[in-house]
Amino acid sequence: MHGSGYAPPSPQPPSTGVLVVLRVLFVAVALLSIGFLAWVAPLRAAIVTRRRAEWLFFAGSVLVLCVSFALLSTDNTKDFSTPNGNAGMIILLLNAVVCAGYYLQADIRHFSHLRQAHAGHLSMMPGYASYARPVPPPFTATSTPGLPQPPYVPAPMPPTAVPPTALPSTAVPPPPVPAPQQRPVPRHIDQVRAELDELSDYLRKHDGREGGR
């Protein structure tokens, strides 16, 4: 009826600083103990990785340690100067070096794969993209590094002038300007003009009579 759902998330590996401290500690225990505690490093790798190869290597390191102890036990000198003593010390020191190197290689490989699996599981989870970090805008010559930049707003285009010839033919013509009206001549001016005309006629007749005499 229902699907299997999402797979459980893989365990998140410890921080890099914690892993470095643990690696230095286990390598120091294997080397500073002159190989007597070399088996501690492969035991740590076997417990962390839970792989069959690491458990077999741990069993082999314990077996080599037992062989070394057996050779050293047959030497009755204080400085292990007999052939059995020398062989036992060489095997003990080589076992310490091999155990420390194998532990580092197995531990680094295991936690590297664990980080990759954890990152791949997070990328497949729904909603993981919403928590992704936003990509900063590309740096331009006018931007200042480290300061937030305002969003780019395009400048408005200037209005283009329409030529007179582009106006539609249905444009309304301007109204005609009315002609200035002439002021009416006053009546008294006409009367004065008529009187002057009569006076000029009278003078003209009067001059004609005197000439006839």
Tell me whether residue 35 is in a domain.
Answer: yes
Tell me whether residue 40 is in a domain.
Answer: yes
Task: Return the top range by mean pLDDT from 51-65, 121-135, 137-151.
Answer: 51-65
Residue 36's nearest CA partner among 83, 76, 91 is 91
Tell me whether residue 57 is in a domain.
Answer: yes
Alpha carbon distance 123, 15 (integer Å): 20
Residue 103's nearest CA partner among 33, 24, 35 is 24
Alpha carbon distance 175, 164 (integer Å): 19
Task: Return the top range by mean pLDDT from 49-63, 173-187, 197-211.
Answer: 49-63
Tell me whether residue 87 is in a domain.
Answer: yes
Contact present, 124 and 62 (Cβ < 8 Å)? no
Tell me whether residue 112 is in a domain.
Answer: yes
What pLDDT is recorded for position 104? 93
Alpha carbon distance 14, 144 (integer Å): 38
Task: Return the top range by mean pLDDT from 1-5, 144-148, 174-178.
Answer: 174-178
Residue 23's nearest CA partner among 35, 40, 7, 2 is 40
More confident residue, 53 or 193: 53
Cα dist. 166→33, 158, 161, 185, 195 in Å? 101, 19, 10, 50, 65
Q: Once rounded to an integer, what is the mean pLDDT over residues 92-116?
A: 90
Tell me whether residue 95 is in a domain.
Answer: yes
Enclosing domain of residue 25: 16-121
List, for residues 71-80, the tens digit of each pLDDT value. 988 888 877 7
Residue whose token pair is 């069959």: 52
More confident residue, 70 or 133: 70
Is residue 210 helix, strand or coil?
helix
Tell me whether residue 161 is in a domain.
Answer: no
Domain total for the chain?
1
Tell me whether residue 136 is in a domain.
Answer: no
- The encoded tokens of residue 158 equal 């200037």
The overall average pLDDT reported for the chain is 75
What pLDDT is recorded for position 40? 94
Query: DSSP letters of 90-127?
Result: HHHHHHHHHHHHHHHHHHHHHHHHHHHHHHHHHHHSTT
Percent helix, strand, coil in the chain, to 5, is 60, 0, 40
What pLDDT is recorded for position 98? 95
Q: CB neighbours (10 Å) of residue 88?
A: 21
Using a pLDDT cut of 70, give the percent of the chain over it.
Answer: 58
What pLDDT is recorded for position 148? 58
